[in-house]
Structure 1
């Protein structure tokens, strides 16, 4: 069972492009070419001369055409904020590895992703996932590895699904845990047992050194997938170690969920779509756009770390800049402590594979780079800009498109002051 990088295509490059942008902005500020005030920043740019293509330049009020669906996505994001980072389960899990998905339907993270080998659910048999289980409200998945090399160490996927009742969660665990894995030459899985969590439904693949555990606890179903690729290549079978890692994941996750207050399915339509007013300032994702995270919404400073590939670096940078929220749309919008923190956001670790290119016409404060490196999933072009306490970053396959995106995003922030 081999895994890909999932939807997390360029988080490290994005973060380090922000680093480079912060350095550039800091240099401009020290030279007297930038100001801490939003008003001064806006006066240095003639918005009418920016090439924004077909992207909007005005803050966009967020309205839900389907209040229930929108509420379920808000619930999924709230769940992500509450869940532990993989490195909080095991400090060795420092390399976030895709599979980051707030989801409102099982199919969102199963069948389409499985075709590319990036499913948050690994290669579990999809029979029990054909339809959403009864009472399913929302879920969040996160994954990480102990080593950047997929042939070393192990990979952990931690998924939490919240249900409308304890009975719904227990029924889903039993049904989904019984189906095992798809057979890709390793069989469909053998039963296993956890003495620490006897209510968990376990299935493991001895030939692939992968263990799946479905554990119901209250209204939650905690799904863990532990895949020790290093043991697979070394032909070492160690079920007790897989169970121990799964047990630890369940314990830490269940403890974190104690502070989470789930929303009843009948009440999710009352959850605010844009509770902090950040999405209205974030460049909307074009119809059909599936780049990078492929979800729209806001995570808090903790939840957003699920999306960063270099979580150790990101956590340090977030803490220093006071990043308390990140909004995702056609790019990412970071809210820092204040204007000075935004300018200082990420001052080091600029990736050697990022090469500076010209800024978009009319927006000299934007810092744009082109990626030349080994990551075939990385977006070639990334641009960042600072406005007040915000740092905006966009990415694209095309230079003109990334220029238009960052120009439109800047205009949105300037028009939203």
Structure 2
């Protein structure tokens, strides 16, 4: 379930998928603040006929389009680089796979990384170092534990060739080690990572009154990629072990990624599965770098409020594809799977959520008022699940209704 990974700007909301916590994403030219609101109450299900008897003509779709719109190719190398980085998200290890406690959204994430458009402190300096070695693109994720004792920032960066990746590793590690972190009480010192002699890493200690922790920053070349981590745990040994397990998982995973030749980025299809064409569109100027795309299973999980819980939901519903534009659409195995996902997403919000009016004419839809303003709705459409959020509830309703009609038309 993903509520908060959209940006409310100038009275408009663009939804990027199912992350129902306050995360922010890297936008087309800047970082866009997400809906960080928490919600309270229980869902209200819209009255109406049984599923399968929706009166399409009665749905209020506002001015939103209702016909699928096929998309072409990236057309430019820059857009192709973004599309390729979005594809890479499916081959980036989620922090929860390293430690199931790492489920809470942290810092500004997930992010597509491309040269010249990284403005997050620390990442900006690292990106600048990477650009000196022809950095191509990358993908960044970050999660922490609920008790705030452990966190993991993790990224995969691509370079033109293994030689450039090796050269970048040394410089990135040097630059990262020179960045003074808040409450740092010791200089960064070299640290070997168990089982990974190729990794260049440093450790430092931090103190905030009675609380102390260790931070490890590491860079590892892997073919044309550099695997980056900044991890925090109770001591150096625990933190180094967190980094080592991340590398144990990430190395073989990125080896499976079928990277596109850089010279052919402009030829990459924006919508290889056809699901994005059936998703309520978003303009290129409003889209963040993680929107206007589809994600496979792991990529979709990167954006979930609780990826561990969502993994179970995806398993039960046969969900392996998610599109992200003005709305978010999940493709499940069948209609029963879609209804189950709506129930689970609604139940997740209903634990502490205020419900509001459901979408008129869509039985089984559920809507919630966001505490800081705005609204969120979820509904099933055949074997698909729709998520939408906007500032005004009426707008959210129209987005869901238009998305329903579009899916039924496609």
Normalised by the length of structure 1, the TM-score is 0.77
SS in 1 for 2:310: helix
SS in 1 for 2:131: coil
Go from structure 1 to structure 2 and tell me whether the alpha carbon gap of 1:13 and 1:262 turns closer, same or farther (over 3 Å shift). farther
Q: Is the 8 A contact 1:381 1:402 kept in 2?
A: yes
Does structure 1 residue 389 correspond to structure 2 residue 383? yes
**Alpha-carbon offset, residue 20 of structure 1:** 5.2
Summarize the alignment of residues 230-241 of structure 1 with structure 2, pairs less than 5 Å apart: 231=234, 238-241=235-238
Go from structure 1 to structure 2 and tell me whether the alpha carbon gap of 1:20 and 1:172 turns closer, same or farther (over 3 Å shift). farther
Match of 2:307 among 307, 311, 331: 311
Q: Is the 8 A contact 2:130 2:168 kept in 1?
A: no
Go from structure 1 to structure 2 and tell me whether the alpha carbon gap of 1:354 and 1:330 turns closer, same or farther (over 3 Å shift). same
Q: Is the 8 A contact 1:281 1:412 kept in 2?
A: yes
Q: Is the 8 A contact 2:342 2:379 kept in 1?
A: no
Does structure 1 residue 326 correspond to structure 2 residue 322? yes
Unaligned runs of 5+ residues in structure 2 are 1-21, 26-32, 208-213
Which residue of the partner structure matches residue 120 of structure 1?
none
Q: Deviations over 1:242-290 (max 9, x none)?
A: 2222122112110222322222211333322111001111112256546
Q: Is the 8 A contact 1:158 1:222 kept in 2?
A: yes
Go from structure 1 to structure 2 and tell me whether the alpha carbon gap of 1:268 and 1:329 turns closer, same or farther (over 3 Å shift). same
The CA distance in 1 between the partners of 2:400 and 2:127, in whole Å, is 43
Go from structure 1 to structure 2 and tell me whether the alpha carbon gap of 1:247 and 1:95 turns closer, same or farther (over 3 Å shift). same
The CA distance in 2 between the partners of 1:212 and 1:401, in whole Å, is 44
Q: Is the 8 A contact 1:80 1:102 kept in 2?
A: no
Q: Is the 8 A contact 1:211 1:242 kept in 2?
A: yes
The CA distance in 1 between the partners of 2:67 and 2:162, in whole Å, is 44
Q: Is the 8 A contact 1:210 1:227 kept in 2?
A: yes
**Alpha-carbon offset, residue 80 of structure 1:** 1.5
**Alpha-carbon offset, residue 99 of structure 1:** 4.3
Go from structure 1 to structure 2 and tell me whether the alpha carbon gap of 1:98 and 1:415 turns closer, same or farther (over 3 Å shift). farther
Larger mean Cα displacement after TM superposition, 211-220 or 88-97: 88-97
SS in 2 for 1:267: helix
Does structure 1 residue 367 correspond to structure 2 residue 366? yes
The CA distance in 2 between the partners of 1:46 and 1:167, in whole Å, is 60
Q: Deviations over 1:35-65 (max 9, x none)?
A: 2xxxx54xx1216x62423x32221222346
Summarize the alignment of residues 146-225 of structure 1 with structure 2, pairs less than 5 Å apart: 146-147=145-146, 149=147, 152-180=148-176, 181-183=178-180, 184=182, 186=184, 189-194=187-192, 196-207=195-206, 209-225=214-230
**Alpha-carbon offset, residue 319 of structure 1:** 0.8
Summarize the alignment of residues 13-412 of structure 1 with structure 2, pairs less than 5 Å apart: 24=45, 33-35=50-52, 40-41=53-54, 44-46=55-57, 50-53=60-63, 55-64=64-73, 66-97=75-106, 99-108=108-117, 110-111=118-119, 113-114=120-121, 123=122, 126=125, 129=128, 132-147=131-146, 149=147, 152-180=148-176, 181-183=178-180, 184=182, 186=184, 189-194=187-192, 196-207=195-206, 209-228=214-233, 231=234, 238-286=235-283, 288-289=285-286, 295-348=291-344, 349-350=347-348, 351-360=350-359, 363=362, 366-372=365-371, 380-412=374-406
Q: Is the 8 A contact 2:96 2:102 kept in 1?
A: yes
The CA distance in 1 between the partners of 2:257 and 2:324, in whole Å, is 22
SS in 2 for 1:302: helix
Q: Deviations over 1:227-253 (max 9, x none)?
A: 23xx4xxxxxx3233222212211211
SS in 1 for 2:206: coil
The CA distance in 1 between the partners of 2:362 and 2:101, in whole Å, is 41
Go from structure 1 to structure 2 and tell me whether the alpha carbon gap of 1:240 and 1:34 turns closer, same or farther (over 3 Å shift). closer
Go from structure 1 to structure 2 and tell me whether the alpha carbon gap of 1:355 and 1:72 turns closer, same or farther (over 3 Å shift). same
Unaligned runs of 5+ residues in structure 1 are 115-122, 232-237
